[in-house]
Structure 1
Amino acid sequence: MADPQEIKQHFWKKLADSPFVMIGLEGGGHHEPLTAQLDQEQVDTIFFFIGKDNRLAQGGKTMAQFVAKGHDFFACLSGNARIDNDFGMVDKLWNSQVEAWFPGGKSDPNLALLRFDVDDAEMWETDVSLAGKVKMLFGGKIKAGDEGSHAVVGTTAEATGA
């Protein structure tokens, strides 16, 4: 079983590899899929380019769910979202995928940069052991050490003190 620090490192690697999350305001209806923009200098922060008319633009308490591309890692994140149109950050995170959604470029009048500050998270890594996979294949029972790792964390920072 991995320790929480290792799970947090895996989370950021998995999110970078497949940066799609379901995110929504608490009590604000259904969550929606958005593409995360990551800045390694921002601990516990995920950015999203959205339209100013998006329901998330009002900000507030927010929940986000992440499922890794291989369905071997899951995370539920809670925190606060707010618009942060720092042009330096917009410029830093801008890419061709974002430009496809905002034809007016970085100065598109509908462009907003949503900043999601993570307060806490719960993460699950389903690294089923070889013995566990054989048991599942033949209908055996999975024991506690066979199923993977789980962590409840107050920060998603990869290293203590970061």
Structure 2
Amino acid sequence: MSDDIKKHFWKALADSPYVMVGQTGEREHSIPMNAQLDKDAHSAFWFFTSTDNRLSGGGPAMAQFASKGHDLFACISGTLRREPDPVVLDKLWNNGIAAWYPGGKEDPKLVLLRFDLDDAEIWTADPGIKGMLKLATGMTMKEGELGEHAKVAL
């Protein structure tokens, strides 16, 4: 099951790469970030941000994700680190990112953060016909009838 749910997670994240990210142990609210995905990297994703963003210093972090169709939810733990490799920056750079940085790739405020993923809890919400009938009639739901849940290493 965990491989299927991981594949479902990566597809849903590619379709809508917006996550809420916060530093673990801090009392600051999480902030919305746009995850930059690399199809060859299954244990990390990246964020372009600025030096004045409170996440720019890195450290242990958590990200929350809800898919576009609200049929998959995930809470992801990992570590934010500044990405020093200019090849990665070049690979992920696009017009949508360029619009935020007047100095381009050399903008002094530009920071590329890599989120090294540790693990996640992932939930799917797909009740099927039997589950929909139970929800509509107020019948008791059993575990697994509304979807799947898995703790996975990423």
Q: TM-score, normalised by structure 2?
A: 0.94
- Amino acid across the alignment from 2:48: F
Runs of 4 or more above 6 Å deviation? none
Q: Secondary structure at the match of 1:57?
A: coil
Q: How does 1:33-112 map to 2 (within 5 A)?
A: 33-112=32-111
SS at match of 2:99: helix
Unpaired stretches in structure 2, ≥5 consecutive residues: none
How many residues in Structure 1 have an aligned counterpart in Structure 2? 153
Distance, in Å, in 2 between the alignment partners of 1:103 and 1:142 is 53
1:103, distance to aligned residue in structure 2 (A): 2.2
Q: Give 1:131 shift.
A: 1.3
C-alpha deviations, 1:58-114, integer Å up to 9, x for none?
111111110101111001111111111321111100112111221221111111100
What is the aligned-residue RMSD (CA, Å)?
A: 1.1
Q: Which amino acid aligns with 1:103?
A: P
Counterpart of 2:148 in structure 1: which amino acid? S
Q: Report the residue type matching 1:146 in the other structure.
A: E
Q: Relative to structure 1, is the Cα distance of residues 145 and 62 closer, same or farther in structure 2, using a 3 angstrom cutoff?
A: closer
Q: Does 1:4 align with 2:36?
A: no
Scaled by the length of structure 1, the TM-score of the pair is 0.90
Shift of 1:36: 0.2
1:18 alignment partner in structure 2: 16
Contact kept, 8 Å, 1:85 with 1:112, in 2: the verdict is no
Which residue identity lines up with residue 16 of structure 1 in the other structure? A
One-letter code aligned to 1:54: N
Could you tell which deviates more after superposition, 7-16 or 38-47? 38-47
C-alpha displacement at 1:142, in angstroms? 1.7
Q: Given the alignment of the two structures, is residue 117 of structure 1 paired with residue 116 of structure 2, yes or no? A: yes
Structure 1: which 5+ runs fail to align? 157-162
1:2-41 alpha-carbon deviations (Å, 9 max, x no partner): x110000000000000000000111221110000000122
